[in-house]
C-alpha cells in the first residue's frame, strides 16, 4: 500500500514539474478575433486565447492606460463581445492558468479591436487614373468634410483578405495622399480608407467606397465594334461588341465617364473569336463619345489586357422626325444646349431689339424737330402778303383766338361785323362781334 501511494505521489510530482517546466516565463498565449478585429458598430466579435496544454483556463483583459480590466467569457478560452459600441473599442490581452500551477502565464501581445461605422465615410480617388501599367505609380487620396486628423488605408487582394497599407496623420480637413507603386500584381487590388481622430484611435468611420487599382497591358488587346456602325440616330438601340482571339472569360467596357460594366463570355462569334455584347439601350446624345474595351481572366481580376483601339460613337438626329434634316451635323448641337443658354440668348436678342427701336424713334424725333424749326423760321422771314393763300392767312391755321362776349352766349348769333385789320407783326386773331340791340329788335 505504501509503495503504491509513494509511486503515485512521485508520478504527480513529476507531472507537476514537467508542467511547470513547460510553462516557462518566455511562453505566452496568443489572442485572435473572429471574424475580424475590425467590427462594425452593433455587430459581435469573438475573441479566442490560444496556448499549448496543460493550461485549462484563460482570462481576458482590456488595457485602459496602466490598468487591466478582467472580462469573463462563456467558455474556457472564448470571449464574446457585442453588440459592440464605441466603448468596446480598445486594446485587449489574455493570459492562461491551470489549477496545478501557482501563477498565471504571461500576458499575450495586445490585440486592437476597432469599431467602425461611428462616423460618416470619407471619399477616395485615384490619381492620375485607377488603370495603370506595370511600374507606374498611383496616388490614392482620402479626404472628408468631418475634419479627421488621421486616415487609414486598407487593401483587399484577390483572395478577399484585407490588410492595412498604412496610415497618415493630417491637419483638420486636409486630405491624405498615399503613394502606391511601382505597380505590380501584388499592389493591384481594391482599396478603401477610413477616417479617425487621434484622441480616439480605435473608433473609425465607415469605410469609403471601393476603388479598384488595375494593371493593364498584361496580354494582347481585343477589338471593339458597334452593331450597325459607329454612327446611329437618336432613339435607335446601341450595342457594342468586344471580341478577342485570346481565351478571356471577362470583358470590360470603359468610356470617358468610367467603367460601364463587366460581362462573362458565354459564346463565340461568327469568326470563332470569343466576344461579349454590351447593350447601351436607346441612343441619346449622352452616349456619344470614345469607348475602349479590355479582356481579363476571372482568376486574376486586377490584371487586364491592353486597351482596344478607341471607338468613336456618334448619336445624332431623331428617328421621330417626319422630314429629313438637311442641316449640317454640327448645327444640331444647338438643340442640345442647356435651357439656361437659350434663355440668355433670348434676353440678349430682346435688348438688341429694344436698343434698335429706341435709336430709330429718337432719330425720327430729332428729324421732325429740325424740320419744324426750319419751317417756323421760313414763315417769319417772308412778307405777310406772300403768306396768304386764296385770300386767307396761312398762319391763322396754326393759332386762332376767339374773343367772345360772354353775355351773348345764350343769344342767337347775328351777322358778324367785318374783321378788323391786323397789324402785320401781331399774331393772327379773329374777333367776332355781336349786335345785341339788333337781336332784340328781331321778332
The DSSP symbol for 87 reads G
Give the rounded distance of the alpha carbon of 203 from its chain centre: 28
CB-based contacts of 8, cutoff 8 Å, min separation 6: none
Beta bridge partners of 151: 168, 195
**Region of residue 199 (left: phi > 0; alpha: psi -120 to 50; beta: else):** alpha
Distance CA 156, CA 360 (A): 75
2 close to 17: Cβ distance less than 8 angstroms: no
What is the full per-residue pLDDT of the chain (443 aa) written as tens digits? 455 544 544 544 444 444 444 445 457 888 999 999 999 999 999 999 887 755 567 888 888 765 566 676 555 788 888 899 999 999 999 887 766 555 566 788 999 999 999 999 999 999 999 999 999 999 999 999 999 999 999 998 766 677 888 999 998 789 999 999 899 999 999 999 999 999 999 999 999 999 999 999 988 999 999 998 999 999 999 999 999 988 898 999 999 877 788 888 767 777 777 889 999 999 998 899 999 999 999 888 899 999 999 999 999 875 444 333 333 333 333 333 333 344 455 565 667 677 777 778 788 777 766 666 555 445 454 444 444 434 444 443 443 333 434 343 334 444 444 444 444 444 444 444 444 444 444 43
Say how many residues make up the chain: 443
31 close to 47: Cβ distance less than 8 angstroms: yes
> In 3-state terms, what secondary structure has residue 39?
strand
Kindly list the structural domains of the chain, giving each domain's residue range(s) and its CATH number in brackets, ordered by start.
Answer: 26-116 (2.60.40.10), 120-215 (2.60.40.10), 220-318 (2.60.40.10), 395-441 (no CATH)
Closest CA to 142 of 191, 177, 173, 118: 177
For the residues of 379-431, what is the DSSP string, one character each?
A: HHHS-GGGGEETTEEGGGGT---EE--GGGTTSPP-PPPPPPPPPTTSPP-EE
pLDDT of 180 reads 93
Closest CA to 33 of 14, 60, 57, 64: 60
Would you call the peptide bond into 54 cis, given omega within 30 degrees of 0 as the criterion?
yes
Q: How far is CA 29 from CA 26, 36, 58, 62, in A?
A: 10, 19, 9, 15
226 close to 209: Cβ distance less than 8 angstroms: no
pLDDT of 101 reads 58
191 close to 124: Cβ distance less than 8 angstroms: yes
Cell of 144: 472628408
196: Cα within 13 Å, side-chain hemisphere: 22
Distance CA 347, CA 343 (A): 6
Distance CA 132, CA 303 (A): 10
Strands (E), 267-384: 267-268, 274-282, 289-297, 300-304, 311-316
283 close to 237: Cβ distance less than 8 angstroms: yes
Amino acid at each position: 500500500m505504501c509503495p503504491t501511494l509513494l509511486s503515485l505521489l512521485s508520478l504527480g510530482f513529476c507531472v507537476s514539474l514537467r508542467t511547470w517546466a513547460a510553462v516557462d516565463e518566455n511562453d505566452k498565449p496568443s489572442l485572435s478575433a473572429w471574424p475580424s478585429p475590425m467590427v462594425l458598430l452593433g455587430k459581435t466579435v469573438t475573441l479566442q486565447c490560444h496556448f499549448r496544454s496543460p493550461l485549462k483556463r484563460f482570462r481576458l483583459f482590456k488595457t485602459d492606460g496602466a490598468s487591466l480590466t478582467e472580462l469573463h467569457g462563456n467558455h474556457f478560452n472564448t470571449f464574446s463581445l457585442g453588440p459592440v459600441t464605441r466603448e468596446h473599442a480598445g486594446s485587449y490581452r489574455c493570459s492562461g492558468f491551470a489549477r496545478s500551477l501557482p501563477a498565471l502565464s504571461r500576458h499575450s501581445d495586445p490585440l486592437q479591436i476597432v469599431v467602425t461605422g461611428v462616423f460618416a465615410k470619407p471619399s477616395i480617388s485615384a490619381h492620375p487614373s485607377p488603370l495603370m501599367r506595370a511600374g507606374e505609380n498611383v496616388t490614392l487620396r482620402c479626404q472628408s468634410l468631418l475634419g479627421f486628423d488621421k486616415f487609414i488605408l486598407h487593401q483587399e487582394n484577390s483572395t478577399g483578405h484585407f490588410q492595412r497599407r498604412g496610415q497618415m496623420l493630417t491637419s483638420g480637413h486636409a486630405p491624405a495622399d498615399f503613394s502606391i507603386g511601382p505597380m505590380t500584381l501584388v499592389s493591384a487590388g481594391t482599396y478603401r480608407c477610413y477616417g479617425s481622430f487621434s484622441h480616439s484611435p480605435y473608433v473609425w468611420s465607415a469605410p469609403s467606397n471601393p476603388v479598384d487599382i488595375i494593371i493593364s497591358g498584361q496580354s494582347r488587346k481585343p477589338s471593339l465594334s458597334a452593331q450597325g456602325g459607329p454612327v446611329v440616330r437618336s432613339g435607335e438601340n446601341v450595342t457594342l461588341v468586344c471580341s478577342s482571339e485570346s481565351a478571356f472569360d471577362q470583358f470590360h467596357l470603359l468610356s470617358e465617364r468610367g467603367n460601364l460594366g463587366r460581362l462573362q463570355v458565354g459564346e463565340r462569334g461568327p469568326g470563332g473569336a470569343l466576344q461579349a455584347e454590351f447593350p447601351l439601350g436607346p441612343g441619346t446624345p449622352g452616349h456619344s463619345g470614345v469607348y475602349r474595351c479590355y479582356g481579363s481572366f476571372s482568376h486574376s481580376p486586377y490584371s487586364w489586357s491592353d486597351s482596344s483601339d478607341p471607338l468613336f460613337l456618334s448619336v445624332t438626329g431623331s428617328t421621330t422626325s417626319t422630314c429629313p434634316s438637311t442641316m449640317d451635323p454640327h448645327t444640331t448641337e444647338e438643340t442640345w444646349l442647356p435651357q439656361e443658354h437659350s434663355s440668355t440668348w433670348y434676353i440678349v436678342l430682346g435688348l438688341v431689339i429694344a436698343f434698335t427701336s429706341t435709336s430709330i424713334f429718337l432719330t425720327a424725333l430729332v428729324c421732325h424737330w429740325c424740320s419744324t424749326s426750319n419751317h417756323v423760321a421760313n414763315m417769319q422771314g417772308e412778307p405777310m402778303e406772300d403768306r396768304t393763300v386764296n385770300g386767307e392767312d396761312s398762319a391763322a391755321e396754326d393759332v386762332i383766338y376767339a374773343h367772345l362776349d360772354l353775355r351773348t352766349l345764350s343769344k342767337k348769333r347775328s351777322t358778324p361785323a367785318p374783321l378788323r385789320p391786323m397789324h402785320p407783326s401781331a399774331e393772327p386773331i379773329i374777333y367776332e362781334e355781336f349786335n345785341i340791340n339788333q337781336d332784340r329788335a328781331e321778332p
